[in-house]
Amino acid sequence: MLTAVNDRTRVPDGEAEAALAQTALLLRELPADTDGITPAKEFLRLLAEAVGPATPTCPPATRATGLVELRPAAYPGAGTVLLIPPPGATAGSYTAVADAHRGPQALATVAPPADAAACLRALRPALAAGEPLLLGGYSGAGQLAYEVARRIGAHGWRPPPVAVAASARGLARTLRTAAPQGPSG
Give per-residue pLDDT as tens, 67-109.
888 989 888 888 899 999 888 888 788 888 888 888 888 899 9
Confidence check: pLDDT of 126 > 70: yes
Helix (H) or strand (E) holding 69: strand 67-71
The predicted-structure confidence for 2-40, as pLDDT tens digits, reads as follows 677 777 666 777 777 777 776 766 666 555 555 566 666
Least confident stretch, 2-6, 33-37, 140-144, 177-181: 33-37
Residue 176 has pLDDT above 70, yes or no: yes
CA distances for 147 relative to 2, 120, 132, 142, angstroms: 21, 10, 18, 9
Q: Within 10 Å of residue 104's Cβ, how many Cβ atoms?
A: 16
User: 145 falls in which pLDDT band (50, 70, 90)?
Assistant: very high
CA–CA gap between residue 178 and residue 173 (Å, rounded): 9
- State how far the Cα of 90 lies from the Cα of 111, in Å rounded to an integer: 8
63, amino acid identity = R
43 against 12, higher pLDDT: 12
pLDDT for res 171: 86
Do 116 and 144 meet the contact criterion of CB atoms below 8 Å apart? yes
Rounded Cα–Cα distance for residues 72 and 18 (Å): 21
Confidence band of 60 (pLDDT split at 50, 70, 90): very low
pLDDT attached to residue 100: 86
53 band by pLDDT with thresholds 50, 70 and 90: very low
